[in-house]
Every structure is written in C-alpha cells, then in structure tokens.
Structure 1
Amino acid sequence: MAKLVAVLATTHHPFFYRTSTLPAQERPAFADEWVRKVETYRETLTRVNPDVLVMVGSDHFHQLWLDNMPQFLVGKAPFYDANFHNEEREFGLPRMLLKGHEDLSAYMLREGLDKGFDLAFSNELRIDHSITCPIITVRPQNDLPIVPIYTNIFAPPLPQPKRFVQLGQAIREIIDSWPSHLRVAVIGTGHLSLELGGPRQFGPHGPDPEFDEKAVRWIASGDIEGALSEVTLDSLWQPGNATHGFMDFMLMMGVAGERKADHADTLDLFHTMEAYFTWYPNGVDA
C-alpha cells in the first residue's frame, strides 16, 4: 500500500516569489527572515522523499465562478497549466506546467464517491496560486506529479467546517488504502484571518490577531474539536472577509489527525500572519 509520509499545511502568499527573487539591495526588511523560514519549512518535505503530492487549494475565481462552483473538485489531467495572467501581472508569478498523477486522481475520485463525497472532477483544470505558491516554496524544482483538490471557500453556499475535516479524514483513508508502493505527501493551503478589498486589508498585522493566535494553537496542537466548537460559517466573517480559507487548514487537520504538529512556525507579515505546519503521520524516518 501507499505510504503517507508527510502532511503540510501552509498559507500561500503570492508575493513570496517576487520578494525572494529581488536583488539584496531591493528587498524589504522582512524578506530575509521570510526566506529563512520558508527554506526551513521546505526541508520538512525534502527529508521524507515523496513521490507524489496531493495538493489542496481553492480557485480564486480564475476558472470557477459563481455560476459554476463545485464544493470539492479533483483534477484528473495528465498535465496542468498553472498561473493566470493577472497573477503574472500583479504578483510576478511565472507560468508553470505541473505534471498530474492520473492513477491517484482516479483512485481518489472513485474512493471519495464511495465514502459519501459527491466529488466533481475536471480534465481541463488550470491551477492558480493557491497551489503554485506552495510548489514554489516547498518544491521549487517542480519535479513531482500532483493530484489537485479544489475546495469552495468563496462562493456561498459553502460546506460546513466539519465537512472539510471529514474530507481530510477521507483523503487520509484513501491514501492509506491506495494499492501502490509510492510515498505520498499532502500539502494544503488556507488562510488565517484575512481581509481582501475591505477596510482592514493592509493593516499593521492580520485583521484579527486574537483569531490568529487561537487558530495557530488549534492547528499546532491538533485540536480539531476545539476548532469545530468555535468555528462556524457565520463566525468566520468576523476575523476578515476572506477568513473562510481557514477551513482548508481544518481539512488538513483532518488529514493529519488529532496530533501535535512536528513543525510549527509563523511570521507576522504586517497585513497577514503566515503559518507553516508539518506532520509526519508514520514518523520522520518512515
């Protein structure tokens, strides 16, 4: 059977690529610390030598819109074009081509349906920065095939937070049962408190530091029940208008199980809290 070797949950700041590639004299004051933290985080994936990456993200209204928004979607293409024109223009992100893993995609879709998730699928999915930014930060050589899984965190009606946790648990079970010798890592990206286009967008820190502190504690300690006891679709509007992305972190907690993270780190990046977590479900040397 396949082996789940690592679970990574991270934010996906689109300006990291541009910031990290600036000449030294042009870098902002926080750049070196940001790069150092990302490089340390990258090593948590490198050390387990994965063969395939299951990537959990959310389309930022690039390919999916209010008139056609699946709640949970599995990509099942052999290759994925990645990054859109506005991401090149606004964030300096490069165009990318990601290789797919069709066998695991098909298995994920079939088993997910049988576990009670009416998953959508796409053979023509194009990937945006919710997945390319984690590739850039933790696997910049872009040499591993992926299985992209998109969640709906933007277009109401949204799934309940517990449904994200349940999907994470199902993904874990599916990987554990996959008849393969390959080593699988799951990488998911979400948000802590976040404001997009609203009055709290570019403050001195994330729009709700109190929520960020609790969220980091829930994730780092694997406190799924604690998160579920306080997080609702209505409550997530309060920390910022884009904070529903935290449900992707909850999905990753479902994959990891109720256990303490083996790596937990944050960076207060003036307008948002960046966060990086890794779990080794079978031990670091598995």
Structure 2
Amino acid sequence: MIFQQKFNASDATIARIFRDLVPDEVFDIHVHTYHSSHFQKEIPFLKGIHKLGCEDHRSYLSRYMPVKKLHGLYFGMPEKQGDRDAMNRFTLDEVRDHGTDLSRSLMVVSPHDEVVKVADQLKQDTCCGIKVYHCYADRKDTMNAEIAEYAPEWMWELLNEMDGVLMLHMVKNGAIEDKGNQQQIRKLCKAYPRVRLILAHVARSFNYRNARKGLSGIADIENVFLDTSAVCETEAFKAALRIFGPKRVLWGGDFPVTEMRGRCVTTGDRFFWIHPEIID
C-alpha cells in the first residue's frame, strides 16, 4: 500500500456521493503528522513524502470530504527508531501554527521516557494527552505485549491529574476480545477515572468479530471511547454503535493511511489488507 497523491475518476465519483452525507464541520480524532527527518529509514508507504502536517491533512481529506472546517487530534508516527522528541516538537508547532481553533495534539511517549520531562511537556497549551504504541514495549514479540508494558501506570497518573487523553492501539490476536486486554482496561480505567481512554480502530477490530464478541466486556466503563480510524468493516461499526452508543464512538481517519487505496477485511479470526499492489 502506498500514499496516493493523485485523485482519479473513481475517487471523484465517491467524493460526489459524500457531498450530501458529510456535515459542514468535522473533528478527526486520529491524525498522524510526519516528517522524514524523524526516522532513520523512509517509511515504505510514504516513499517520496517529506512532510505531512495540519494543512496537508485538511487539503488531502477535502478532496473527498467537502467540509467547511476540519479539526484534528494530531500525533506523530510511532516507530521504534524514530526521534520522538523531534516528532513531538513538530506536532506541537504544527498544531499551534497551522491547526484550527479546536485542534489539539498528543505526545508519542515510551515507557522509558523520563516522567518529569513528559509531565513538563504535557503542559504545552495544545497538548491534551499521550499516544502509546506496542513497539516501545520491552520485549521482542511486541504484538503480544500487555497494555501496561507500553502504557505503564505513571502515564495514567499524569493524565489523571489533567483529565487527559490516552490514545491506545492495543495488540494481541484477539484485540478487545482478549480477556487480558479487557481486564487491564477495566483495572486502569477504574484506578484513573479522569483519563479519557480512546481505543483506536474500534478497539483494534479490523476483524469485526473482535468487536462483536469483545466490546460488551468493557462497555460499562464510562471513560472508555472508541475511534473508527482505518476500520473498513461495516459490522465493526454496527457493533460499536450498538454496544457503545453514538456519543462514545468518535470518527477518525488515520491520515495518512486515509490516502492509501485498499481495505482491511476479516479473514477467520485474523484480518488482511487488500490493495492494488498485491492484485495482478
């Protein structure tokens, strides 16, 4: 899958359908910023792209989302060898200088970061919380990491003090269907009730069966929300709205993933990305 800079005839046809469906003002709860200098190696799907900021986000999405105002919650692109300090500074500057009045930013934070330093950075005026990712867990098989391994309690403590946001892309094969994930979410959200936990990708329900079977296990926890970013399965959306209700389901695009052609489909108890580059 690659970032598509060109808008073709099929894209234009779909965009025309959206004209009567999309409201004038939209908040995108899941947006990545990007600068190639923050990474040792070029990210494959962003080959040839140097920078993506707030204006790029609005420009690309406006091609098919005819909104008058597009706000966003922005954060860097988590990557093990990426320069987190640089990406966090870049994101803060982007939101301050080019974001809309309601746009905000999250810091990409590792369990190994200095607590005092993170606490100080969270005081920046556009920053409202933390983005965590499994690649920073202290193990080789990070796809099997427990939530607390990459979102330790000190992060929750800081966010609880500021009514902050924690953006979580969980892992493990069952995603939200996994009982261990459910138990940790329940424990941490009850201990830190002022943290607003956003479970990215409908609690990683790229496989809609995970949403159907797992969301009810945490739906009673009032400080848990879902974002819809990069989810392509209608059944996952239906489960989210039915189990969580519309007030706790937040629209997110996952820019720049939004600009790739393809979709993620349910296959058994896993999922698979179909895209033009693998189709003859």
TM norm. shorter chain > 0.5: no
Q: Which has the higher contact order (CA 8 A, sep 6+)?
A: 1
Report the TM-score, using the length of structure 1 for normalisation: 0.31
